[in-house]
Amino acid sequence: MSQISFHSPTGELSIAEDNGFIVSVDWGWGSLQEETPLLIEAKKQFDAYFDGKLKQFNLPIRPFGTNYQLKVWEALQTIPYGETRSYQDLVHITGGSPRSIGGANGANPIPIIIPCHRVIGKSSLGGYSGGEGIETKQYLLNMEQLFKN
């Protein structure tokens, strides 16, 4: 598995590739750094995303999870840039419950590319397990609103 780390507005990010697919995005600096053409392209796309120039990632991904998690993560990828959906909205698409949607979001191995930050609660932003938690989620949502048009 190859990995590249870089500084972003939400902190240090590490992206991992395995057999030609992005398999994880994590906050923090990875210990093993090995640039590949795919990881270099992923970093370019992240830079463009944080600059407000990229609304949709175009990278091969392979998240690992349960069948239900995969179904939720697929649904998350249909939420347009700069928009949000409620946990209940996703229940109507994937089945389960708001709690199971939250669990799948929390287990998302490829955040930002699979935009779990775009899922909010009825009366609050809900949770976020990446970076600085809810502060990171709020940053991503605000940034997308700023660059939406």
Residues, the chain, total? 149
**Residue 116: active-site member:** yes
Nearest-angstrom CA–CA distance, 33 and 23 = 15
Are the C-beta atoms of 139 and 9 separated by less than 8 Å?
yes
Compute, in degrees rounded to 10, the torsion defined by CA atoms 30, 10, 52, 15: 20
Nearest-angstrom CA–CA distance, 69 and 55 = 23
Q: Which of 13, 22, 116, 140 is catalytic?
A: 116
Q: Identify the H or E element spanning 85.
A: strand 85-86
The amino acid present at 28, given as its one-letter code, is G
Are the C-beta atoms of 1 and 17 separated by less than 8 Å?
yes
Give me the active site residues, please: 116
